[in-house]
Structure 1
Amino acid sequence: MNDTRTKGDAKLDGDTPTLRLFGLLEVIAEKDQFFTLQGLVDETGLPKPTLHRMLQQLEAAGMLQRDGAGRHYSTGVRLRRLAENLLLNNTAHGARHAVLRQLVEEVGESCNLTAFSGSEVLYLDRVETAAPLRFYLHPGSRVPAHCSATGKLFLAQLSPAQRRRLLAHVPLARYTENTLTDLERLEAEIERVKRAGYALDDEEFLPGLLCVGVLVPAPDGGKSNLGVALQAPIMRLTPDKAVHFLPALQRAAAALAAIEAEAAAGRGDTEETE
């Protein structure tokens, strides 16, 4: 029998309606902007009534939501929470935590692992320093990307058009006198971050707190959704001193990348044996 399915149709293969809904979510998860019913029809080749019914089911379940005049869809709160919980609780957590703990022992300051979630930075894990003066930010905490070191790194991976689309709907709230709330100044800072390969949060989110961060390289060499950062009070850490910690951060990032690559390879081996 000739296989006449389109690329999109193949993604929606499944023996049950539930699996086909999951396949549709996989298609949707690859999108970086709002999408329409007609756009999905064109992409998948499925009948419009079928896709409309599937979208209604996903919207009712909180996996999708409608925006604007109701013609455009985007990911829903429930779907985003699912993705975040997977990041927070995956099987590599113990190994990643050990890398963070070793980094804290080396640099003597609190360190954290973050991911990009919507327009915010999500703290996946954190190890505190034993120093008496420190700032507490527990796993699950969120920080706006525009005033976070790793947040700027995540933003720097987006195309200018993607950044404009994201930031156009996000208020650049001022948290301190140093917070960048002007789009042009933020764009200039993001360009500097792209050239430097690291980013600083110089009292931009909390007064008296300085942070330096780097990205964890993605296993496939593409965009990374993991960052590692060091935080300390300004009485112990200045921007100049923060740069001296970059080699330690980069070694930790490489170790974390190896863990992610091993986990990805393990998932591939499991799929091949099923």
Structure 2
Amino acid sequence: MTSDVAKIDGDTPTMRLLALLEVIAEKDQFFTLQGLVEETGLPKPTLHRMLQQLEAAGMLQRDGDSRHYGTGMRLRRLAETLLMNNTVHGARHGVLSRLVEEIGESCNITALSGNEVLYLDRVETSAPLRFYLHPGSRVPVHASASGKLFLAQMPPAQRKRLLAHVTLERFTPNTRADVDALEHEIERVRRDGYAFDDEELLPGLLCIAVLVPGSKGRSNLGIAVQAPTMRLTPERAREFLPALQRAAEAIAAIDAEAAPGNSASA
């Protein structure tokens, strides 16, 4: 029950409504108010009010008996439109897939989200030994190769402000769990233009990452390779940098073409 309640947790009413929609989107049949109460543990009046709001917005609709709910036309159209128009994600995924084919290891696209690194997309290697990290996963900024790249872009005052509210947890003996050690590493990242996670988050996992070039200098996209240390050493990982940088440039070109005001995207 606790995990279900957490599904519809949120800091604002809007976030709680979105979380409830995520629960509803997993259903392949009509549902009732009482069924949601039992599934989520939320008070019946609270859920009734939330369902009313979603119904009024066209996101849900009632079945003929008025007791059962299903997805509304507006929500279905939103999902269909997203699938039809989300060519940027599909194009990026194609670049990622080709990169995995070229180097033979798992690759992912990341972004900075608050004080964490968010996995936007990931393609797994076919090798039998691998670490499973799915899109939507979040990892700490200080123990991530992409996270160090995002930190290295920031002015010192901005980075200091962010790290002041982050617990630099030590996940392995290699984790840089104090600010001075992390700042020293960030200097190296800024100089070299790439970053490692050398068993800093998970024992036995090595990662190398570069930034996707941004149109205005700074970037909030990274692309990375991850593999077990028994297959990938830092020296071997550096050999992947040209392929990583080509993929990063390809993603930057996709994003530039899709940017508002670009005639090519019209």
Under TM normalisation by the shorter chain, which class is it? 0.5 to 0.7
Correspondence for 2:141: 145
Q: 1:238 aligns with which of 230, 233, 246?
A: 233
Residue 17 of structure 1 is matched in structure 2 by none
What is the aligned-residue identity percentage? Answer: 71
Runs of 4+ in 1 over 4 A off after TM superposition: 59-63
> Take 2:235 and 2:100, find their aligned partners in 1: how far apart are those partners?
19
* CA distance 1:232–1:268, change in 2 (3 Å): same
Which letter does structure 2 place at the counterpart of 1:221?
Answer: K
Match of 1:225 in 2: 220
Residues in 1 aligned to 2:180 and 2:232: alpha-carbon distance in whole angstroms? 28
**Structure 2 residue aligned with 1:117, among 93, 96, 113?**
113
Tell me the residue number matched to 2:102.
106
SS across alignment from 2:261:
helix
Distance 1:90 1:122, change over 3 A: farther
Q: Partner residue of 1:134?
A: 130
Once residues 262 and 241 of structure 2 are traced to their aligned partners in structure 1, the CA distance between those partners, rounded to angstroms, is: 34
How far apart, in 2, do the equivalents of 1:134 and 1:146 lie? 22
How far has the Cα of 1:112 moved from its partner? 0.2
Amino acid at match of 2:153: Q
- Is 1:186 the counterpart of 2:182? The answer is yes
Whichever residue aligns with residue 158 of structure 1, its letter is M
- Give 2:89's match in structure 1, choosing from 83, 90, 93: 93
Cα displacement (A) at 1:223: 1.0
Structure 2 distance, partners of 1:227, 1:140, is 15
Give the secondary structure class of the aligned counterpart of 2:129: coil
Aligned to 1:249: 244
Measured in 2, the distance between the counterparts of 1:92 and 1:60 equals 30
Residue equivalent to 2:164: 168
Aligned to 1:262: 257
Equivalent residue letter for 1:238: T
In the TM superposition, residue 202 of structure 1 has moved relative to its aligned partner by 0.0
TM-score by length of 2: 0.67
Structure 2: tracts of 5 or more residues without a match:
1-11, 17-81
Q: How does 1:199-210 map to 2 (within 5 A)?
A: 199-210=195-206
2:181 corresponds to which letter in structure 1? R
Cα drift, residue 222 of structure 1:
2.1
Deviations 1:88-129 (A, max 9, x none): x95400000000000000000000000000111000000000
Distance 1:257 1:208 in 2: 31
Structure 1 residue 62, shift from structure 2 partner: 6.0
